[in-house]
Amino acid sequence: DSGVTQTPKHLITATGQRVTLRCSPRSGDLSVYWYQQSLDQGLQFLIQYYNGEERAKGNILERFSAQQFPDLHSELNLSSLELGDSALYFCASSWDSRSYEQYFGPGTRLTVT
């Protein structure tokens, strides 16, 4: 158990809908990272927050957004969902802004039908 929790574990929704994925980092960790894992794209970095502020941005679509709250949990919002957004979404955390050692949550599997 990495100490990172993600909810929900599974999510099935229709095209055009909007969903929110939630992540709680390990106790004491200030950085949260979001990744998308799909069969064709592999594991792709989406976005990083550090102590409430956006720190780095990767291959995140404009339809996707994220935020980190004062209690350090983070949410990833996916809107206008398309079939191609079906993937595993992982959250990871680390204690500082450098990604020397990231601890991954179990992931949320999103299926868009």
Partner 1 sequence: GDSVTQMEGPVTLSEEAFLTINCTYTATGYPSLFWYVQYPGEGLQLLLKATKADDKGSNKGFEATYRKETTSFHLEKGSVQVSDSAVYFCALSDAMSEKLVFGKGMKLTVNP
- Residues of this chain that interact with partner 1 (CB under 8 A) are 2, 4, 33, 42-43, 45, 48, 55-56, 58, 90, 92, 97-107
DSSP element (H, E) containing 7: strand 5-7
Residues 95, 97, 100, 105: is their CA dihedral positive or negative? positive
Q: Which is nearer to partner 1, 82 or 101 (CB)?
A: 101
Shortest gap between Cβ of 82 and partner 1 (angstroms)?
23
Q: Which is nearer to partner 1, 19 or 36 (CB)?
A: 36
Q: Which is nearer to partner 1, 20 or 109 (CB)?
A: 109
Shortest gap between Cβ of 80 and partner 1 (angstroms)?
25
Shortest gap between Cβ of 55 and partner 1 (angstroms)?
6
Alpha-carbon span 70 to 84, nearest angstrom: 32
* Helix intervals (H) in 4-113: none
Cα-based distances in Å from 40 to 45, 86, 87: 14, 11, 10
Q: Which is nearer to partner 1, 2 or 80 (CB)?
A: 2
Look up residue 7 and give its two tokens: 């909810």
